Amino acid sequence: MLTNQEVAQDLIRQFGSAVSEFDDPFDLLTLTTTREQILPVLRYLRDHATYRISFLTDITGVHFPDELGREFCVVYHVHSLTQNFRIRLKVFLSADDLHVPSAFPLYASANWMERETYDFFGILFDGHPDLRRILNMDEMDYFPMRKQYALEDDTRKDKIDELFGR
């Protein structure tokens, strides 16, 4: 049975300062890496003889507009089906440079996950075979999951939070 400690130490040995911010919320090993190192880390975990963390569960994005210089985050969940070990990898990107390498060469399933992330956050996956919108229409000229797009019309007077003491 793999422990978070063990994998984290091994990753530090392998990648040094490229992996950081280790945490384990709800026992799920979480770490941050750089966009240069994300593919090597994913490949290392996938091809490791004992870890075999070779199932890509999910790729998604998060927008933190207040964290200057690292406004966007790409989150990878990978899973080892043999060891039953999950790990969460994050890559933070600056809003003016949203490029990250595509994981498609490693996992076929990354194709649509990355298209979805591009569609909603505008994160550009370099080397993706077909980076187009997937759920929204092609003509759309903004990325709707970014926080600056309020869900509801700002002009509505009946939904002002202060009126409800929030």
Partner 1 sequence: MTTEEIELSNVNVPVVPESEKVQYVNELTTLNLGPTHPATHGIFQNILQMDGEIIVSGEQTIGYIHRAFEKIAERRPFYQITTLTDRMNYCSSPINNIGWHITVEKLLGVTVPKRAQYIRVIMMELARISDHLICNGILGVDTGAFTGFLYLFEQREAIYEIYEEVCGARLTTNMGRIGGMERDLSPTAIRKIRKFLKEFPPVMKEFEALFNRNRIFMDRIVDVGSITAERALSYGFTGPNLRAAGVDYDVRVMNPYSSYEDFEFDIPVGENGDTYDRFMVRNEEIWQSLRIIQQAMDKLPDGPYYADAPEYYLPPKQEVYKNMEALIYHFKIVMGEIDAPAGEIYQAVEGGNGELGFYLISDGGRAPYRLHFRRPCFIYYQAFPEMSKGTTISDAIVIMSSLNVIAGELDA
Q: In the complex, which residues of this chain contact partner 1 (CB under 8 A)? A: 25-26, 28, 30, 54-58, 60, 62-63, 75, 77, 81, 84, 86, 88, 107-109, 111-113, 116, 120, 133-137, 144-145, 151-152, 164-166
Smallest distance, partner 1 to C-beta of residue 88, A = 7
Report the residue number, 14 or 60, with the smaller CB distance to partner 1: 60
Contact 11, 30 (CB under 8 A): no
Query: 16 or 65, CB closer to partner 1?
Result: 65
Q: Considering beta carbons, is residue 135 or 160 the nearer one to partner 1?
A: 135
- Closest to partner 1 by CB, 37 vs 120, is 120
Quote the least distance from Cβ 13 to partner 1, whole Å.
26
Residue with tokens 């490791």: 48
